[in-house]
Homo-oligomer: A and B are copies of this chain.
């Protein structure tokens, strides 16, 4: 867990203001209603964790090592932060420049403190999962596996991408009491050639002979999974079957390569080299991404990553092949680095699903 004192020493600040929703949740277990409106700040000060929020959350649960400061009616959060800092003789306040708004920074500086900007201050901590976190992620992965198994018999021609996406969501919520981690990508044929296809805005329908990309995640006890599998409906061409078999080999080899990798960017390089060896095209997205409280978090698994492989990391491995205007395919597992080596948390079989 995070040692506040050493965090402040490293940052060389008197106190630190955490504003990012998931960082507040991570450090205190406190969870306001919306990740996207500013409903709470966390002030790390004098060895204390002070959650600054309003009266709506007075009864909300939070960790024993944190305390709530409830704003008075009309009291603004920046004023309260300024006052508490002043009372504690704080001259320099560290802030999350990748989350704090410019307007908030201007308001806070008016209280007379010097603000110091930091980026991804908690990533080194959050990227190493505790046993409890790993348990929650495994559970989310397990539900994802089950839902994919549950939905397969319902996939058929004439069905729309939207219908399948909605059915997935219903199964996650009704069947397992979990949440969908992000809007599922369900993309048929040429739509799947766009790695970030927007199913909600699309109008795709399955035909006999279609291949279908299903990329979805489950959120359970605040932690997320991420999986992509391909489904062939009816007669699938040999070209697709053969290419899929090659992609599958590349994906498996890349997962195995994690055991020998030291820097995570080498995983990205390895994967693209393997595709090239097979005369397969490169893909435009990262080979993988860290996952946990957020669907995209540290570590990075791409060419600009400076992250080192460490035990406790959880990330995806998801190479794809995209042929514009024809089709696309991707195979994605959520994995973790354990003392014994790579452990693949996604258990759903990786062969092309045929219905």
Residues of A whose CB lies within 8 Å of any CB of B are: 31, 33, 35-36, 55-56, 73-74, 95, 97-106, 117, 119, 166, 170, 173-174, 183, 194-196, 198, 201, 284, 304
CB <8 Å contact, A198 and B33: yes
Using known A-B contacts A36-B36, A56-B195, A284-B73, determine if residue A101 contacts B99 with beta carbons closer than 8 Å: yes
> For A31, A98, A102, A103, which residue has the most chain B Cβ atoms within 10 angstroms?
A102
CB <8 Å contact, A119 and B103: yes
New A-B contacts (9) at CB < 8 Å, excluding given A36-B36, A56-B195, A97-B106: A56-B194, A56-B196, A97-B101, A97-B102, A98-B103, A99-B101, A101-B101, A103-B117, A166-B173
Among B33, B36, B117, B304, point to the contact of A35 (Cβ < 8 A): B36
Chain B residues lying within 8 Å of A284, measured Cβ to Cβ, are: 55, 73
Chain B residues lying within 8 Å of A74, measured Cβ to Cβ, are: 304
CB <8 Å contact, B104 and A33: no
Closest partner residue, chain B, to A196 (CB atom): B56
Cα separation A143 to B175 with both chains bound (whole Å): 27
Chain B residues lying within 8 Å of A196, measured Cβ to Cβ, are: 33, 56
Give the copy number.
Answer: 2
Chain B residues lying within 8 Å of A106, measured Cβ to Cβ, are: 97, 117
Closest partner residue, chain B, to A35 (CB atom): B36
Using known A-B contacts A35-B36, A173-B166, determine if residue A101 contacts B103 with beta carbons closer than 8 Å: no
Among B36, B73, B100, B201, point to the contact of A101 (Cβ < 8 A): B100
Among B95, B101, B174, B198, point to the contact of A98 (Cβ < 8 A): B101
Closest partner residue, chain B, to A174 (CB atom): B166
Closest partner residue, chain B, to A169 (CB atom): B173
Using known A-B contacts A56-B195, A166-B173, determine if residue A104 contacts B102 with beta carbons closer than 8 Å: yes
Chain B residues lying within 8 Å of A183, measured Cβ to Cβ, are: 33
Among B95, B103, B198, point to the contact of A97 (Cβ < 8 A): B103
Among B97, B170, B195, B198, point to the contact of A170 (Cβ < 8 A): B170
> For A31, A33, A55, A174, which residue has the most chain B Cβ atoms within 10 angstroms?
A33
Chain B residues lying within 8 Å of A98, measured Cβ to Cβ, are: 101, 103
Chain B residues lying within 8 Å of A73, measured Cβ to Cβ, are: 284
Q: Please, could you name 6 A-B residue pairs with CB atoms under 8 Å apart, sorted by A?
A: A55-B284, A97-B106, A98-B101, A98-B103, A101-B102, A102-B104
Cα separation A322 to B31 with both chains bound (whole Å): 23
Among B33, B102, B194, point to the contact of A105 (Cβ < 8 A): B102
Q: How far apart are A183's CB and chain B's nearest CB, in angstroms?
A: 8
Q: How far apart are A191's CB and chain B's nearest CB, in angstroms?
A: 11
Cα separation A95 to B98 with both chains bound (whole Å): 16
Q: How far apart are A78's CB and chain B's nearest CB, in angstroms?
A: 13
Closest partner residue, chain B, to A58 (CB atom): B194
Which 4 A-B residue pairings sit nearest by Cβ, starting from the closest? A97-B103, A102-B105, A97-B102, A56-B196
Cα separation A226 to B103 with both chains bound (whole Å): 29
Q: How far apart are A81's CB and chain B's nearest CB, in angstroms?
A: 15
Cα separation A102 to B103 with both chains bound (whole Å): 8
Closest partner residue, chain B, to A179 (CB atom): B200
Q: How far apart are A18's CB and chain B's nearest CB, in angstroms?
A: 14
Chain B residues lying within 8 Å of A31, measured Cβ to Cβ, are: 201
Chain B residues lying within 8 Å of A105, measured Cβ to Cβ, are: 102, 105
Cα separation A102 to B195 with both chains bound (whole Å): 30
Cα separation A187 to B284 with both chains bound (whole Å): 46
